[in-house]
Amino acid sequence: MADTENKALQSKEKVTLSTAAEQTKPGIVFTPAVDIFETEKELTLLADMPGVKSENLTIGLNKNVLTMSGEVATPEGENETEVLREYETGKYFREFTLSNEIDQTKIEAVLKDGVLRLILPKVEEITPRRIAVKTA
Amino acid sequence: MIFRRVTNWPSIYWRTPFGGELERLKRQMNLLSEGIFGGAYGGPSAGVFPLMNVTEDKENYYIRAELPGIKSEDLDISVTGDTLSIAGERKIPEEKGDVKYHRREREAGKFSRILNLPSQINTARVEAKCIDGMLSIVLPKAETAKEKQIVVKSS
């Protein structure tokens, strides 16, 4: 990513989720920013979820729908009063429909510094095989 | 440029008597007007990163910011008198091998920001930590800035 090396980072308002189904718990739900890329063997997903601890993160794969959901505990202490507020904290939620067949037993998830890295290995048979075309 | 940022600091964001929900609405309105007037409106968050939340109690100020994927060695935080400056870089390492991107929403880049606090702080005892991509800085108030209870004597 050479083009972004000297770029100044700009803050963005967090994207709130708007779905037909309402959450049972009140509070704001955000959709985390993600990077998704694919290699021949696997699909990798990176998601920014600052403040989410691994015990509060749920990842589910039902048929071909991948669901990620993470709870953020309120970081402010009880006796603190607000001076300046520029961002809100809440829950993170996002769903994806996967087009590849994923090997559910080999899914790997690592949460580090607020970034989730999810590795979804494709099922062996789906791995494309190169077919050599012979010229007669 | 840094100087401009200091003087540009918005007084409109400081605590007002309105409730939290109204504040949030006001902030979104500000962002919207920035979008319309291309930032010339003087909105604060134009180009400002990271967004910060500041709280206080009797002893300290607490500053929190969301910095996912930023390592502590890529962060540079300093304090003087009543200003806090934070600079750093968010790096997103290049993925190895033959990768095909489906989505690219996360951004990398450099940032710097200066924040003026309402009162002087004890710079010697400032502590910062970054856990789960959440930066939190504890800034103890200077003795002179602390609230003092005054006993009214009756004769």
Say yes or no for a CB contact (<8 Å) between B15 and A84: yes
| pLDDT of res. A51 | 93
B152 part of a folded domain: no
Here the tokens at position A106 are 């080999």
Do B75 and B11 belong to one domain? Answer: no
Min Cα separation A133/chain B (Å): 23
- Give the pLDDT confidence score for residue A16 in this predicted structure: 79
Do A87 and B105 count as a contact with CB atoms less than 8 A apart? no
Checking ipTM against 0.95, whether it exceeds it is no
Torsion of CA A91, A65, A125, A106, to 10 degrees: 30
In a domain, residue B14? The reply is yes
Confidence of residue A20 (pLDDT cuts 50, 70, 90): low
Considering only the beta carbons, identify the residue of A37, A84, A113 that sits closest to B54. A84
Closest CA to A106 of A127, A85, A92, A91: A127
In a domain, B153, yes or no: no
* B88 in the same domain as B15: no
Q: Are residues B56 and B132 in the same domain?
A: yes
Which residues of chain B are within 8 Å of residue A48 when distances are taken between CB atoms?
Answer: 68-69, 106, 133
Does any domain span residue B10? yes
Q: Quick: pLDDT tens for B98-126.
A: 888 999 999 999 999 999 998 999 999 99
Task: Please state, in angstroms and rounded to a whole number, the distance separating the CA atoms of residues B113 and A8.
Answer: 11
Kindly state whether residues B62 and B117 are assigned to the same domain: yes
CA nearest to B119 within chain A: A83
- Which residue ranges of chain B lie beneath pLDDT 50? 1-13, 37-43, 45
| Inside any domain, residue B100 | no
Q: How far B155 CA sits from the closest chain A CA (Å)?
A: 36
Rounded to whole angstroms, the Cα distance separating B82 from B117 reads 5
Residue A106 is given by DSSP the state G
Q: How far is A72 from chain B (nearest CA, A)?
A: 10
Q: What pLDDT does B9 receive? A: 47
- Please give the pLDDT value at position B72: 87
Residue B150, domain member (yes or no): no
Same-domain status, B33 and B53 = no
Q: Considering its fold, how many domains does chain B have in total?
A: 2
Specify whether B44 is located in the same domain as B113.
no
Residue B151 in domain: no
Kindly tell me if the per-residue pLDDT of A85 is higher than 50: yes
Please judge whether B15 and A115 are an interchain contact, meaning their C-beta atoms are less than 8 angstroms apart: no
Smallest Cβ distance to A76: which of B24, B55, B101? B55
Beta strands in chain A (DSSP E): 29-30, 34-38, 42-48, 52-62, 65-72, 81-85, 91-97, 108-112, 115-121
Q: Is residue B56 in a domain?
A: yes
Task: Residue B57: give its domain's CATH number.
Answer: 2.60.40.790
| Residue of B21, B51, B60, B130 to mutate for A, most A C-beta atoms under 10 A | B51
Q: Are residues B37 and B62 in the same domain?
A: no
pLDDT at A26 over 50: yes
B85 and B12 inside one domain: no
Mean pLDDT value of segment A17-35? 79
Pairwise CB contact (< 8 Å): B133 & A114: yes
> CA torsion angle for B138, B141, B143, B146 (degrees, to 10)?
-130
CA gap A72, A14 in Å, rounded: 14
pTM of the model: 0.73
Q: Answer yes or no: do B72 and B112 share one domain.
A: yes
Give the Cα-Cα-Cα angle A25, A28, A29 (nearest 5 degrees): 90
> Where do the domains of chain A lie, and which CATH numbers do they carry?
28-73+86-125 (2.60.40.790)
Average pLDDT over residues A24-42: 88
Nearest in space to A86 (alpha carbons), one of B76, B24, B125, B88: B24
Whether B2 and B54 map to the same domain: the answer is: no
pLDDT tens per residue across span A91-130: 999 999 988 788 888 889 999 999 999 999 988 765 666 7
- At residue B6, the pLDDT reads 43
Which single residue is written with the structure tokens 């003026």?
A: B116
Domain that holds residue B1: 1-48
Other CB atoms within 10 A of residue B55 CB? 20
Contacts of B110 in chain A (CB under 8 A): 6-9
Same domain, B44 and B115: no
- A37-77: per-residue pLDDT in tens? 999 889 999 999 999 999 999 998 888 889 999 999 888 88
Residues B55, B128 within the same domain: yes
Question: Which positions in chain B touch A85 (Cβ < 8 Å)?
Answer: 13, 20, 23-24, 27, 53-54
Residue A3's pLDDT is what? 47
